[in-house]
Structure formats: C-alpha cells, structure tokens
Amino acid sequence: MDKCKSCGSQAINPGKHGRDLTSDLDLCDVCAWRKRAEDFSNQTVEMGKLLDGYSSENEKLLKIVDGYAIQNAKLSKLVEEATEKIKSWTK
Ligand SMILES: [Zn+2]
C-alpha cells in the first residue's frame, strides 16, 4: 500500500470521505483535504487581491463621478440663477 508523501499515513482512500478518484493520489485523506483547503485559501487570497484591484479602480471611478456630480451641482445653480434672472427681466 502506498504511503502519504506528506505524513507517511497509509490512509489513502480515493473515492472515500468525499475525495475524488483522480487528484492527490499520493496524499492521505487528511493531507488531501488539507491541500484542498490550502488551495482554496490561496484562491481566496488571489480573489481578494483581484477585488482590491477592482476596488481601487472603483475608487478612481467614484472620484470621476464625484467630479461630475460637483460640476452638475454648479451647473444646476447657474441654471437656477439664470432662470431667476430671466424671470426678473420678464416682470
Ligand atoms: Zn498525509
């Protein structure tokens, strides 16, 4: 019987304990799951990095949007002022 390359255990049971039959056949059940968990955690870290990237992009976009909003508010005020002026002319 094969031994786990990581811990030496002989508890290598592909297809049992939720293991599939194809991956990590040189690892025991415990180490195979641990590896899966580590892979998943690495993926989570990578996802986190990607999300950080997106959020800094997002912050840039938000600043641009804020800029537009400020300009828009200024324009609205100008339009209001102009409207008031026009009203006062027609009185
Ligand atoms: Zn092991």
Output the CA 17–ligand 1 centroid distance in Å: 14
What is the structure's pLDDT at 85? 87
- Report H helices in 1-91: 29-90
Helix (H/G/I), strand (E/B), else coil: 4: coil
CB 11 within 8 A of CB 29: yes
CB 36 within 8 A of CB 47: no
Tell me the mean pLDDT per 10 residues along the chain, length 91.
Answer: 91 89 92 90 89 87 90 90 86 70
Output the CA 44–ligand 1 centroid distance in Å: 23
Q: Name the residue with tokens 């990581």.
A: 6
What is the structure's pLDDT at 6? 95
What is the structure's pLDDT at 17? 84
What is the structure's pLDDT at 1? 62
Output the CA 63–ligand 1 centroid distance in Å: 51
Q: Which residues contact 54 (CB under 8 A, 6 or more apart)?
A: none
Token reading at 54: 């997106």
Output the CA 34–ligand 1 centroid distance in Å: 9
Q: Name the residue with tokens 């195979």.
A: 32
